[in-house]
Chain A
Amino acid sequence: MMQKGQSKMSNIQTAMNGARATGYVDVSEAPATGMITLRGDLADAGVQKAVKSVMGAGVPATLAVTDADVGQILWMSPDELMIVCAYDQADQVVADLIAALGETHSMVVNVSDARAVFDLNGSATFEIIAKLAPIDMKSMQAGTVRRTRFAQIPAAFWMTSNDSARIICFRSVAEYMFNQLRNSAQAGFEVGDW
């Protein structure tokens, strides 16, 4: 039943329509997720204060993920943060951040619809990522984030626990990402390092 002010056109569709694959690690596309890019000098006191006041958590340390009141803050580079929150909240968080940043040199953009999000679940999650990204997975742990490549496409991932990870890539390459994760996680393709 459609509610007033809603049309079918506004139904949110994720890139892969919530595709799932079950192998020796479960691969699934996450439901619509709010993603916000904040660019600005993270060492700047104005940026740090604005993030703290809106998010309830400060700027994360290098390559770290911080839990905040409205989601999570991911360190992307010395001048970039990614904020992950509920899809419906994203526009409000962007407005709050822009207001809090004021004249501070910065940029805040809602990029939710430009990205695709995938979840890996299973004790061999580290192995699936190690197959696809040039990362020493022994250096990764829960709460660390890396931007890297998965085979031929750029992506960012962070460990949500010791046996699960979340991966973000551009929406235009979502199918490529899903296919390579599914193929790597096929039963019978275990390497057995983890």
Chain B
Amino acid sequence: MLLLECPYCGAKCEETELSPGGEAHIKRYGPGSSDQDFEAYLFMRENPKGVHFERWRHVYGCGKWFHAARCTQSLEVFGTYAAQTFEPPQEIKDKISAKRPGWSWRDFS
């Protein structure tokens, strides 16, 4: 069972109250972009054993999208943060570094 704290409600939500939204921080490439960028945007996803960033929606609650940083191996949750950001806040990165020194994920570390 996965428990995530909704950054808008402050409520601890059980997984079935939420809707998964796939990988976080994907940059959209639309019309005019190269075939490679468009393909990467559509299909190329991380599949890490360890630190991962995801999008979730508090679908049965406030209805807001948010981000979660967690470990796919231990199911440990490092933290959740607002959706309105292009990269994880420093506070979240610091929390991950404290527990998984030397971690990296796409361009973040």
Contacts and interface: CB of A to CB of B under 8 A. Distances in A.
Interface string A42-61: 00000000000000000000
Interface string B68-99: 00000000000000000000000000000000
A134 B93 CA distance: 29
A176 to B, nearest CB: 15
Interface string B1-24: 000000011111110110000000
B60 interface: yes
Contacts of B62: 76-78, 80, 147
The winner among A62, A80, A147 for most chain B CB atoms within 10 A is: A147
Interface residues of B, number: 14
B10 A62 contact: yes
A77 B66 CA distance: 13
Interface residues of A, number: 15
Nearest to B12: A136
Contacts of A76: 62
B49 to A, nearest CB: 28
A154 interface: yes
A76 to B, nearest CB: 7
B60 A77 contact: no
Contacts of B48: none
Contacts, number: 36
B10 A148 contact: no
Interface string B47-64: 000000000000011111
Nearest to A150: B60
A78 B10 contact: no
A68 interface: no
B9 A62 contact: yes
A149 B10 contact: no
26 contacts: A62-B9, A62-B10, A63-B9, A63-B10, A63-B11, A77-B8, A77-B9, A77-B61, A77-B63, A78-B8, A78-B62, A78-B64, A134-B14, A134-B16, A134-B17, A135-B14, A136-B12, A139-B11, A139-B12, A146-B11, A146-B61, A147-B60, A147-B62, A148-B60, A148-B61, A154-B60
Given A139-B12, A148-B17, 8 more contacts: A63-B9, A77-B9, A77-B63, A134-B16, A135-B14, A148-B60, A148-B61, A154-B60
> Which 10 A-B residue pairs are closest in the complex by CB-CB distance?
A77-B62, A134-B14, A149-B60, A147-B61, A78-B8, A154-B60, A148-B60, A134-B16, A134-B17, A62-B10
Interface of B: 8-14, 16-17, 60-64
